[in-house]
Chain A
Amino acid sequence: MTRDRLIELINQIFVDQFELEPEELTPEKRIFEDFALDSLDIVDLITGLQRKFGISLRDNKDVQQIRTLQDIYDLVEKLARDNPDLIAKLPE
């Protein structure tokens, strides 16, 4: 799966779950300041990522470092590299 496809799937979570416009979703956007997500919304986001990618983020320390959309892309890409079996199940 390409990085572009991963980004597309992640962005889809923001569109479906948070009703953000696709054109707003640029990598440098800060999820707390620019999108006004707070800690409870992050729980929803994590749930959405787990559901979409079939990965567990509950004990992942990198989650706490997430500040921008780019950070989420990087985290999921790293997890995708570590879990090729799970990611392989995703629709192309």
Chain B
Amino acid sequence: MWLSILIYSLLVLSSLLFCLIFGLPYLLSLALPERLRGRVIRYIILVYGRMIVYVAMRPCIRVRFEDLSGGQRRPGIYVFNHRSSSDPFLVSVLGEEIVQIVNGWPMRLKFYGYFARLGEYIDSTAGDYASFAAQIRMLNERGVSIVAFPEGTRSGGRHMNAFRSGIFHLARELRLPIYPGCIAGNEEMPTRRFKFKKSGTIMVRLLPPILPAEQDQFPSAYALKIAVHRRIRQETAKMDKELDDAVIQPGK
């Protein structure tokens, strides 16, 4: 319990500090046209996420990011496994302008939901396939990548739930690269009940992309989905083992 109190205190304090620093740019952005405002807000969200991941949680949680994607990344679709509510913060390690596809309830949160809406985040519960395709195409043309958690909900453990197919249909239709991403170590940071049960290391690993030409080799979006699920599942199992084997102290 004390760990949760400590971490949430750090989060609140750093958020307040962040609001003081970025309050003025945020207010100025409200006067901008929608498209430009979205860009400014996404940049603010990115800096906020990185501050939470690399500064605010640092006394208790260390985050290691490994980019195995090779070469320069172009805007596409990042597909991550989803164990914990810390995942949407952890994707800030990518260091690029992104829009996340999120469930309805986070979009309705007072603080995070407000900024998510301003940042043109996509509510997976509001819209149909055609409207998502149009949104993603438009964002991609502006150089914005999409982050999706196709499990749809947090697994809360080391297992992975089945993927939904929508994002894989969209990737094939829009000819976008898929970047499989793996997050391990955060299944109790925090738990599904938002409690931090331990401190330690979280690993984020980006795997080589599946480019449109490779996606064409799959007979269906379903087959692509199953292949991506398998790659992430195998890699997160390796990462779990690495975390179990290595005694990695925070701050080292």
What residues of chain A have their CB less than 8 Å away from a CB belonging to chain B?
A: 16-19, 36-38, 40-41, 44
**Complex Cα spacing A36 to B166, Å:** 13
- With A40-B169, A41-B165 in contact, is A19–B226 under 8 Å at CB? yes
**Complex Cα spacing A19 to B229, Å:** 14
The verdict on B213 contacting chain A, using a C-beta distance below 8 Å, is no
Please tell me if the beta carbons of B129 and A40 are within 8 angstroms of each other in the complex: yes
What residues of chain B have their CB less than 8 Å away from a CB belonging to chain A?
A: 129, 162-166, 169, 218-223, 225-226
Please tell me if the beta carbons of A16 and B219 are within 8 angstroms of each other in the complex: yes
Please tell me if the beta carbons of A40 and B165 are within 8 angstroms of each other in the complex: yes
Shortest C-beta distance, B125 to chain A (Å), equals 14
Q: Tell which of A16, A37, A38 has the most Cβ of chain B within 10 Å.
A: A38
Shortest C-beta distance, B82 to chain A (Å), equals 15
Q: List 10 A-B contacts (CB under 8 A).
A: A17-B219, A17-B220, A18-B220, A18-B226, A19-B219, A19-B223, A37-B222, A38-B164, A41-B221, A44-B222
Shortest C-beta distance, A77 to chain B (Å), equals 24
Could you list 5 further interchain pairs (A-B, Cβ under 8 angstroms) beyond the known A17-B220, A36-B225, A37-B165?
A16-B219, A18-B220, A18-B226, A38-B164, A40-B165
Please tell me if the beta carbons of B226 and A38 are within 8 angstroms of each other in the complex: no
For A38, what are the chain B residues with a Cβ–Cβ distance below 8 Å?
164-166
The 5 closest A-B pairs by CB, nearest first: A36-B162, A19-B223, A41-B222, A40-B165, A18-B222
